[in-house]
Amino acid sequence: MSQLYWPIPKYLSIPKLSGIAATLVVSFSSGPESVCWMEETRMQSLSQLLEQAKMGGVAIGHFNVSDIVLLKAVCSSAMDVQVPVLVGVSEGERRFLGTRQIAALVRSLREEYGFPIFLNADHAHSLESAVEAARCGFDAVTFDRSALTLEQNIYETQLAIQALKAINPGILVEGEIGDIGTGSEIHEAEQQEPRRLTTPDEARQFVEATGVDILAPAVGNSHGLVKSMVAGTTKKRLDVALIAEIKRAVRIPLTLHGGSGTDDGDLREAIGAGINIVHINTELRVAWRRGLEEGLCEDINQVVPYKILPRAVEAVSRVARSRMELFNSGPMGFIVKVVTETGV
């Protein structure tokens, strides 16, 4: 698929379709050529897709975007790989893009392509910020009061769930406990003291008390990359046994934050142990910068943005696609197809 322009909606490429309603099917495939079953004939909700991810031993990728280059790369990669995708925007990313504006962009892509692209308000640190996202039509909110004590975090998360579900009963609310650091950027060095991991008991207590839809625990993950990770010489490692214990304790979808720079084998095992969403940000930002530099260096007199920026879209897409393929390589990965009344 060309990264220069938005892809042509797939239904336009299916002959004899005019006048026939195209429907979207998300199903599982046990191999590249076989579709095991088709469950739905309309777009499924994010919670249904998370249920499918759980059954299929795969995870939905959550990719942060700060601009249209990243948005374009993430969405066209998802359509290429044929997997549902979560677009994430932190409070900083929202300030730059506009909360209402990114919601409108994601909605227009989902509608135009009939493709399961969802939007998450990533790390909303206040009720006000979470409510703003819900009012703008976000599909999910990561309500992050993990810096508080467990009791205060429970109390504030309860209030947030009440407020958010009153605005949109279908919105998914993720709660966060434990220390996974801050900043999707390149850090000088790894933190010296070991981070406090989430225990299965506190996970159970938090989920039972709040009723969150999704839990983000601290299981060895952390935000950002250190320089050796950018160079590819070191990797983040996960406590997969702890993930499995937390999953048994809470039995709801789990999110892994801080996915950049994590060992591929650990990511696969973590998904097998119960992770259903994986967040990637810094890896995309590194690719964005390198692609942009390439585009700028190619012709120092070039000033036309849409001739420079495709390099950045391509660089980000390579990373996004490889992560989507990894997250979807379980026994029964997603396959998203547009079908007509007469078949695929």
- Minimum distance of ligand G3H from residue 261's CB (angstroms): 7
Number of residues that bind Zn ion (CB under 5 A): 2
Alpha helix segments (H runs only) across 125-277: 127-135, 150-167, 200-210, 227-231, 240-250, 264-273
User: Which residues inside 263-302 make contact with Zn ion, applying CB under 5 A?
Assistant: 279
- Nearer Cβ to Zn ion (182/340): 182
Pairing of strands 60-64, 85-89: parallel
Query: Which residue lies nearer to ligand G3H by CB, 122 or 202?
Result: 122
Shortest Cβ distance from residue 283 to ligand G3H (Å)?
A: 6
184 binds ligand G3H (CB under 6 A): yes
How many positions of this chain bind ligand G3H (CB under 6 A)? Answer: 15
Report how far residue 56's alpha carbon sits from residue 335's, in angstroms, rounded to the nearest whole number.
11
- The yes or no reply on residue 10 touching Zn ion (CB under 5 A) is no
Which DSSP state fits 137? T
Answer for which of 224, 274, 291, 295 binds ligand G3H (CB under 6 A) is 224
Q: Does 257 bind Zn ion (CB under 5 A)?
A: yes
The one-letter amino acid code at 280 reads I
Pick the binder of ligand G3H from 257, 311, 321, 323 (CB under 6 A): 257
Q: Would you count residue 145 as binding Zn ion (CB under 5 A)? A: no
Binding mask 61-80 for ligand G3H (x = CB under 6 A): ---x----------------
Q: How far is the CB of 257 from Zn ion (least distance, A)?
A: 3
Tell the smallest beta-carbon distance from residue 223 to Zn ion (Å).
6
Give which of Zn ion, ligand G3H, none residue 184 binds (C-beta under 5 to 8 Å, depending on kind): ligand G3H
| 280 is a contact residue toward ligand G3H (CB under 6 A) | yes
Sites for ligand G3H among residues 119-138 (CB under 6 A): 122-123
| CB of 137 or CB of 181, closer to Zn ion | 181
> Taking CB under 6 A as the rule, does residue 94 contact ligand G3H?
no
Sign of the C-alpha dihedral, residues 211, 278, 110, 66?
Answer: positive
The nearer residue to Zn ion, 278 or 338, going by C-beta atoms, is 278
One-letter identity of residue 333: G
Picking from 107, 101, 103, the residue whose alpha carbon sits closest to that of residue 43 is: 107
Q: Are residues 308 and 49 in contact, defined by beta-carbon separation less than 8 angstroms?
A: no
266 is a contact residue toward ligand G3H (CB under 6 A):
no
Query: Quick one: how far is CA 299 from the chain centroid?
Result: 34
Provide the 8-state DSSP code for 255: E
Query: CA angle, corner 228, sides to 227 and 233, nearest 5?
Result: 155
Residue 29 or 255 having the CB closest to ligand G3H = 255
Measured between its terminal Cα atoms, the distance across the chain in Å is: 19
Q: Which does residue 116 bind out of Zn ion, ligand G3H, none, counting CB within 5 to 8 angstroms by kind?
A: none
Q: 104: which DSSP letter?
A: H
**Tokens standing for 329?**
């390589």
Annotate 281-318 with b (16+ C-beta within 10 A) or e (fewer).
bbbbbbbbeebbeebeeeeeeeeeeeebbbbbbbbbbe
Stretch touching ligand G3H by CB under 6 A, among 154-162, 188-196, 252-260, 335-343: 252-260
Residue 343 is given by DSSP the state B
At its nearest, how many Å lie between Zn ion and the CB of residue 260?
A: 10
Residue of 259, 274, 330, 333 interacting with ligand G3H (CB under 6 A): 259
Q: How far apart are CA 15 and CA 22, in angstroms?
A: 11
Taking the C-alpha atoms of residue 274 and residue 226, their distance in angstroms, rounded to an integer, is: 27
Contact residues toward ligand G3H (CB under 6 A) are: 64, 122-123, 184, 223-224, 257-260, 279-283
Residues that bind Zn ion (CB under 5 A): 257, 279
